[in-house]
Structure 1
Amino acid sequence: MKIIKPGTPQPTDVPNRFKVDLPSLPGRGGWDIDVFSSGLTLVVMDTALHQPIKTQATVAKPIIGFGFCLAGEFGFSLMSSKTRLNIRAGQSGFFTFPQDIEITEHLPADHLLRIYLMLEGEILSSFTQGDEDYFSPLIKSVEKKRVNRVVHSTTALMHAALYQILHCPYYGKARHIYLESKAMEMLSHKLAQLHPSFLGPDNKLKPSDYDRIMHAAEVLVNNLDNPPDTMELARSVGLSRAKLHRCFRRVHGVSPFEYLRNHRLKTAMMLLQSGKINVTEAALSVGYANLSYFSKAFKAMFGVCPGELLRHSTPN
């Protein structure tokens, strides 16, 4: 398998924007990097390969960040470990990497689209004031040269913001401000996912109830085409119907039905972004029999018709 070492980010004609081209790539792709004065860095990695490759890079300075896989699947491993972690579309994660560690990524012969949000430790500390006891071990892991990787699903709200990042409607300074605001939004979503207390003191639940709600969400996600009704869902996780609704909204900000709808649309969005299926197939695969209703719901959520998204996502 071909091994490629990414080069140094090169400046572009756009201030505070850099680009990394992968040399001798069997296909197309590269990395676009936006650096913001707030200490956040936004990286879009888009590749479409004809054969699988490996990329190898050594971390120049400690990294704290969040990653979002929007299309495809890839794996990565560390020089210090034989364990390989696979990440697929629809997953996101929090990670910390200490300085001088070597990272190997296994990129497939397919379209792979990822977005990364990097930040300095001081930025994360400022956002987590009041919850230092929870987040301090994650931040200190970098100082102690320890690796942390926590994988979650990418929520519908995250997907909406990620789409807006990829299809920013502005140019120049307005574009820079817009992307930084979206990066901040993504940071907020991930911190809330990492630590439920970010939902606010009135939304805290007993650990056992929180676990039941997370299980209920998992049941819905795994049964998009034939989900249980609310009573069946409540019974399966050991809660009353009323308590399920109340606690579910506290954790996820929406009802179970809204969560199901959002995840269906998010999954359809990922399928369309892959460019491998048409709009009808995407709708049916997530449980929508009425194509018109699917299109209206999709546009209401993402601000674009599914057909338009498909046209943007299909490689030329």
Structure 2
Amino acid sequence: MTESVHDNVNQFFDQMDFFYRSLNRTENMERSDSTGEGFALRIVPRPELIIVLTNCTLYKNKQVNFRFDIPMVELSICLEGEGVGQVNGFEIPLCPNTVNLGLMGHGAGEFCFAGGRSLVTASIYIPVSSFNHYLENIAQGKTADFHRLLGSKSFHQYRQAINPAMLQLVRQLIHMPFSQAIRNIHMECKVLELLSLSFQQLLFENDPGPSSFSMTRSELEKIRRAREILLERMECPPSLLELSRIAGLNDFKLKAGFKKVYGTTVFGYLREQRLEKAKQLLQSGRFRVGEAAAYVGYTNSSYFADAFRKHYGVNPGEFMRSSSTVF
């Protein structure tokens, strides 16, 4: 990988105030000052593969400006954090529990991370040659490469909600109880597995329709407000029409906009957040299964148990008993 691609990635470290000693090697970078605290771990298991794990808290909004002159591909998974940015005039929202695949030809942009909250992300950067090589193995006879997918654009992004399989891989990346040498080998295997799964779902399985749907900044804020309302009223959520009225959007704009920003439907997102909240309650050890189900709005414990098992692959009772081993 050329040094210029590393330079592209290092722009993030510079403007987020992460101090690094090496330009292109594995390194843990920390920050602790009046504007925020936390760390960014850069891992380079091989020259053409950069992994960046970020876990920090920003005390106030933070704007990052960047440009990319060398084409590359970024796969970014956001577990926590919010923000909004733009690349060559294309607006990019940052939302929790989403997977974003960016094809970067050339250009510049900016990003504003929301302050007062945690930022937890896992990002993978690869050159175009590696991207095309991976596609050859998963395209299943379809013709696809970086330049065909990008077309005449200088930047394009694919987005979807993170699914359980992806989430499991990301957690395995973040928590690796191995020595340095074994960790690099294991991490490289998990990254390649995550890239393959993400490319398959984002490029070959998703409905491309929402990518052509456009929103104004005001509409984007209303979509975010709709999400906040869902989380605030998780136990007894509004109907779609009521949610549209409260947020100030018609139901078509709400459904299409929500799918574009969060990668799933309105009530698909609600279901995922209910289950995630219930999982946290069970993990705390202070709630029984029925209590956790009722807290997040499930009136039928059997239905809750079935939904939990389908989403996480384990019964809620079993999860509660083994929660000390779950990330």
Band the TM-score falls in, shorter-chain normalisation = 0.5 to 0.7
Query: Equivalent residue for 1:10?
Result: 20
> Relative to structure 1, is the Cα distance of residues 184 and 91 closer, same or farther in structure 2, using a 3 angstrom cutoff?
same
3-state DSSP of counterpart to 2:166 = helix
SS of equivalent residue, structure 1 residue 68: strand
Q: TM-score, normalised by structure 1?
A: 0.60
CA distance in 2, matches of 1:167, 1:20: 17
Partner of residue 194 from structure 1, selected from 194, 202, 218: 202
Question: Is 2:120 the counterpart of 1:113?
Answer: yes
Distance 1:299-1:118 versus aligned 2 partners, 3 A rule:
farther
CA contact (8 A) 2:81 2:119 kept: yes
Residue in 2 that maps onto 1:159? 167
> Which residue of 136, 141, 144 maps to 1:134?
144
Q: Helix, strand or coil: the match of 1:61?
A: coil
1:88 is aligned to 2:95 = yes
Cα deviations across residues 141-192 of structure 1 (Å, max 9, x unaligned)?
6xx7701111111111001111111111112111111111111111011011
TM-score (norm 2): 0.58
The one-letter amino acid of 2:143's match is D
Closer/same/farther in 2, CA of residues 264 and 89 from structure 1, 3 Å limit = closer
Q: Which residue of 293, 297, 310 corresponds with 2:315?
A: 297
1:52 matches 2:70: no
Displacement of 1:225 in angstroms is: 7.9
1:178 is paired with a residue of what secondary structure?
A: helix
Q: What is the RMSD of the two structures over their aligned residues, measured on CA atoms?
A: 4.6
Amino acid at match of 1:27: G
Q: What's the CA shift for 1:118? A: 1.2
Identity %: 13
C-alpha distance in structure 2 between counterparts of 1:299 and 1:178, whole Å: 31
Q: Check the 8 A contact 1:26/1:50 in 2, yes or no.
A: yes
1:170 paired with 2:178, answer yes
Within a 5 Å distance, the mapping from 1:22-61 to structure 2 comes to 24=33, 26-37=35-46, 39-59=48-68, 61=70
SS at match of 1:192: helix
Judging changes above 3 Å, is the alpha-carbon distance between structure 1 residues 127 and 109 closer, same or farther for their aligned structure 2 residues? same
Provide Cα deviations, 1:6-63, integer angstroms capped at 9, x if missing partner.
4687258xx9412444584512123211112272221112121222222233336333
Give the 3-state SS of the residue equivalent to 2:181 in structure 1.
helix
Change in 2 beyond 3 A, CA 1:8/1:128: same
Does residue 103 of structure 1 match 2:110?
yes
SS at structure 2 position matched to 1:159: helix
> What is the aligned partner in structure 1 of residue 265 from structure 2?
none
In 1, distance between residues paired with 2:321 and 2:175?
11
Alpha-carbon shift at residue 302 of structure 1 (Å): 12
- For 1:285, the equivalent position in structure 2 comes to 296
Structure 1 residue matching 2:73: 3-state secondary structure: strand
126-135 or 115-124, which deviates more = 126-135
* Unaligned runs of at least 5 residues, structure 1: 199-205, 208-221, 227-258
- CA distance in 2 between counterparts of 1:183 and 1:304 reads 26
Distance 2:16 2:287 in 1: 36
Q: Is the 8 A contact 1:91 1:151 kept in 2?
A: yes
Q: Deviations over 1:239-283 (max 9, x none)?
A: xxxxxxxxxxxxxxxxxxxx99x95787348968xx99x867875
Paired residue total: 244
Once residues 266 and 138 of structure 1 are traced to their aligned partners in structure 2, the CA distance between those partners, rounded to angstroms, is 39
What runs of 5+ residues in structure 2 fail to find an aligned partner?
Answer: 1-13, 209-229, 237-267
1:101–1:124 CA distance, 2 compared to 1 (3 A): same
- CA shift for structure 1 position 94: 0.8
Q: Is the 8 A contact 1:77 1:105 kept in 2?
A: no
**Residue aligned with 2:198, SS:** helix
CA distance in 2, matches of 1:90, 1:66: 13
| Alignment match, 2:73 | 64
Counterpart of 1:76 in structure 2: which amino acid?
A: G
CA contact (8 A) 1:73 1:87 kept: yes
**In 2: Cα distance, 1:299 partner to 1:164 partner:** 23
Q: 1:298 to 1:128 in 2, by over 3 A?
A: farther
Contact 2:169 2:194 survives alignment (8 Å): yes
